[in-house]
Amino acid sequence: MEAKDAKVKDFMRPGVLTCRKDTRIGQVAVMLDQHRVHSLMVTDRDGRIVGVITDFDLLAGEWLSQDPQSLEVMRSLTAGDLMSSPVASIDANASIKEAAERMVKEDIRRLLVTDQGKPVGVISVSDIVAHIALSAPLGRGQVGDVMSDAYLVCRDKTPIASAARAMTSTGWRSVVVVDAKGTPLGVVSGLDLLPYCLEEDCSKKVVSEVMHPALTITIDATLQEAADMMIENHHHRLVVVDPEDPDSMPLGVISSFDIVALMAHPESVWQK
């Protein structure tokens, strides 16, 4: 199938993971962690989708607070309190080009897919990247062409509450963890923090206790290689290192969203 002819229905994940509006956020965290997803669609009593709640919505709360009152308030909140509404949607027969352009323009990472007005699936940035990886033209570019040179970084002894605040205030979905010499040790994402949501002693934990190992790629690697590595390891981002000194401070970060942004560029092979 030619890239320009691809449809949303060819890329989407069939089915929709949902929770009720009255689901407590502690249970939302459990569901996100169990399914290893970044979001759930929120339904009303009649089963209609009325919003979406993401791991980032949980991070924006006060569940990492050391204040018992704030923690108690968070325990009482529901998916309906933190969800975003309305839900961005797209028709199953829309072009994948349109989906990519909307994700970039609206700065969103997923769209509810509908067929004749009925929800039939979800398409996310990672779903698009999975199919881009099969497209040979993408391999012409290099990681250094699209990576983010600026990124969030912290030392291994940083409290997870500080990492969560930094992620929330900047809009970044992860923090690169380094040692005293700048060597990359791991990455902390929203999904890494979710298992500790609403725990009494969560504020005492540091990032080295919850991070996952950093997947690294060299700045001169192809985008094809980056996409393949993301898919194989189910990661949304890779730490970019200097091929001549991989243990030095990382050069940047490349995410699945960076690759989709390239796909949406007017000069991309996907747009011609």
We report the CATH number of the domain holding residue 75 as 3.10.580.10
Assigned domain for 144 exists: yes
What pLDDT does 128 receive? 77
Q: Indicate if 29 and 80 belong to the same structural domain.
A: yes
Given 3-state DSSP classes, what are the helix, strand and coil percentages for the chain, each rounded to the nearest 5?
40, 25, 30
DSSP symbol at 215: P
Assigned domain for 269 exists: no
Of 138 and 31, the structure prediction assigns the larger pLDDT to 31
What domain range includes position 92?
3-132
Assigned domain for 25 exists: yes
Q: Indicate if 150 and 199 belong to the same structural domain.
A: yes
Q: Indicate if 63 and 153 belong to the same structural domain.
A: no
Instruction: Flag whether pLDDT at 30 surpasses 60.
Output: yes
Q: Indicate if 7 and 119 belong to the same structural domain.
A: yes
For residue 266, give every residue at least 6 positions away whose Cβ sits within 8 Å of its Cβ, in sequence order, or none. none
pLDDT band at 136, cuts 50/70/90?
A: very low
Element (DSSP H or E) covering residue 75: helix 68-76
Q: Indicate if 116 and 144 belong to the same structural domain.
A: no
Q: Indicate if 59 and 119 belong to the same structural domain.
A: yes
Average confidence (pLDDT) over 173-184: 92
How many domains is the chain partitioned into structurally? 2
Assigned domain for 161 exists: yes
Instruction: Flag whether pLDDT at 249 surpasses 80.
Output: yes
113, 193 in Cβ contact below 8 A? no
How far does CA 239 lie from the centroid of its chain?
A: 15
Q: Indicate if 91 and 146 belong to the same structural domain.
A: no
Assigned domain for 171 exists: yes
Q: Indicate if 191 and 242 belong to the same structural domain.
A: yes
What pLDDT does 109 receive? 85
Mean confidence (pLDDT) of the chain: 83
Average confidence (pLDDT) over 117-129: 87
Q: Which two tokens stand for residue 33?
A: 């962690």
The residues that bridge with 38 in the sheet, in sequence order, are none
What pLDDT does 270 receive? 46
Assigned domain for 268 exists: no
Average confidence (pLDDT) over 113-134: 82
pLDDT band at 180, cuts 50/70/90?
A: very high
Average confidence (pLDDT) over 30-43: 86
Q: Indicate if 164 and 110 belong to the same structural domain.
A: no
Q: Indicate if 174 and 243 belong to the same structural domain.
A: yes
